[in-house]
A and B are shown apart, each in its own frame.
Chain A
Amino acid sequence: KAGVTQTPRYLIKTRGQQVTLSCSPISGHRSVSWYQQTPGQGLQFLFEYFSETQRNKGNFPGRFSGRQFSNSRSEMNVSTLELGDSALYLCASSFGGYNEQFFGPGTRLTVL
C-alpha cells in the first residue's frame, strides 16, 4: 500500500514569510503527527492530529500550527519564519493511540 506522502519535498523561504506543508497519511490511518528535525535539537514532536482534532502538542511557539481534514490529510503552517525554523519536517501516520508510526519522506525547509 502507498506510504506517507509529503509535499513539497523542498522549500526555500525568507525570514518573515509563512509556509504550509502537506502530509497525506497511509490509507486508513487517522492519526498524523508532525516532527521537526534539526542537527542541533534532533527530532522534536510538534503536534498530533486525530480525527481532525489536535490531541497532543509539543513545546513549540504559536507560530507553528496545523490542521487535519476529514480525509485525514494534514497541513502544518509556520508563520513569520525565522532562520532557526530551517529543518527537515517529518510527518508520521498511524492508526492512532499507541500504535506504530510510519514516517513520510519529509519536507526540507530552508529559511534565508
Chain B
Amino acid sequence: ELKVEQNPLFLSMQEGKNYTIYCNYSTTSDRLYWYRQDPGKSLESLFVLLSNGAVKQEGRLMASLDTKARLSTLHITAAVHDLSATYFCAAHRGYNNNDMRFGAGTRLTVKP
C-alpha cells in the first residue's frame, strides 16, 4: 500500500526566508508530483519529477526527487506572501495506474 507523508503540515515563514518541505513515499514510485492549492480552489500542477535525481525550478520554488531514498523535497527560496497556499505531493500507485496518493498537504503561510 502506497503511503505518502509530508512534513511539516503547517509552516509559517517570514518573507525572505528559505525553507524545505519534505515528502516521503513508501513504495517504489519513480514519478512524483507537486501541486499547489489556494483556499477554496482546485489543484494547480507545479512540478512533475520523472526520474531519480530530477530537479526542477520555477521562480522561488525548486523540487527534487531521490527515488532511492523515496524522498522528494520542495525548497522555497526567499519566500514572498504570494507563495502562501497548501502544497501537496503525490505519487502514482504503480505504472499505468492513475490511482494517485496524496500527502496530507503543507499549509504554508508567509508573513511580512
CA distance A68 to B50 in the complex (A): 29
How long is the Cα–Cα vector from A66 to B44 in the complex, in angstroms? 24
**Complex contact B98–A33 (CB within 8 A):** yes
Question: Which DSSP category, helix, strand, loop or mixed, fits chain B's interface?
Answer: strand
Contact with B along A68-90 (1 / 0, CB 8 A): 00000000000000000000001
Contact A103 B42 (CB under 8 A): yes
Interface residues on A, range: 20 to 34
* Chain B neighbourhood of A55, CB < 8 A: 97-98
Residues of A near any B CB (own CB < 8 A): 31, 33, 35, 42-45, 48, 50, 55-56, 58, 90, 92, 94, 96-98, 100-106
Besides A33-B100, A56-B93, A98-B95, 14 other A-B contacts (C-beta < 8 A): A42-B102, A45-B99, A48-B98, A55-B97, A56-B97, A90-B42, A92-B43, A96-B98, A97-B95, A97-B96, A98-B92, A100-B48, A103-B44, A105-B42
